[in-house]
Amino acid sequence: MERYSIGDDAAFAELYDAIAPRLFGFLRAATRDEFATEDLVQQTFLQIHGARGSFIAGAAVMPWALAIAKRLMIDGARRRRVELGLFAHPSIDGDRDASPPAAMAAVDDLLDATRLERRVWQRLEALPEIQRSAYELVKQEGLSLKRAAELLGTSVTAVKLRTHRAYEALRAVLREGGVS
């Protein structure tokens, strides 16, 4: 990034190779939508490209890139919410990666599991934005508490608390569904 900021255009491809996979993973986990993820990756890189002249020598690029990606994702979601009037809810028969292992299960079990999955997703959607963001960064993206706190602009303790509350809310849904 340092080379790119001083005018070495060829360094942009190297920068892409260095951070795109992790950025893609983060956005893929957050959006669960391949197309939206690619769109956001591209937008994030364009923001980095546009701000290259302001890059601080020696600064870490990844937290910055993730922060940009998260901001763009939230902004995009807000824009769509305004456009659509509401968030779309996940469908029962959506092509989730985390679909229950249905092959060996009885039909009733499969239906129960699908309903439970839907309730978990709905509960996740219904969580306050600050809790959901913290949960997604820490539990789904696997960021450290410190890094997540940097991205969310808050303290490690607050991230821990938000993640825990989100976790407890999701566990409560599972308990109601009879999963210990």
- Sites of contact with other proteins (CB under 8 A): 5-7, 9, 12-13, 16-17, 20-21, 24, 30-36, 38-43, 45-47, 49-56, 58-61, 63-64, 67-68, 71-73, 75-77, 79-80, 84, 87-91, 94, 121, 125, 150-151, 153-154
Residue whose CB is less far from other proteins, 31 or 167 = 31
Minimum CB distance to other proteins, residue 19 (Å): 11
Minimum CB distance to other proteins, residue 104 (Å): 28
- The residue type of 8 is D
Residue whose CB is less far from other proteins, 89 or 115 = 89
Residue whose CB is less far from other proteins, 5 or 114 = 5
Minimum CB distance to other proteins, residue 107 (Å): 26
Which of 169, 146, 178, 171 has its CA nearest to residue 159? 146
Residue whose CB is less far from other proteins, 31 or 114 = 31
Minimum CB distance to other proteins, residue 168 (Å): 22
Residue whose CB is less far from other proteins, 3 or 175 = 3
Minimum CB distance to other proteins, residue 124 (Å): 9
The three state secondary structure string of the chain is CHHHHCCCCCHHHHHHHHHHHHHHHHHHHHHCCHHHHHHHHHHHHHHHHHCHHHCCCCCCCHHHHHHHHHHHHHHHHHHHHHHHCCCCCCCCCCCCCCCCCCCCCCHHHHHHHHHHHHHHHHHHHHCCHHHHHHHHHHHHCCCCHHHHHHHHCCCHHHHHHHHHHHHHHHHHHHHHCCCC
Write the CB contacts of 14 (distance below 8 Å, at least 6 apart in sequence). Answer: none
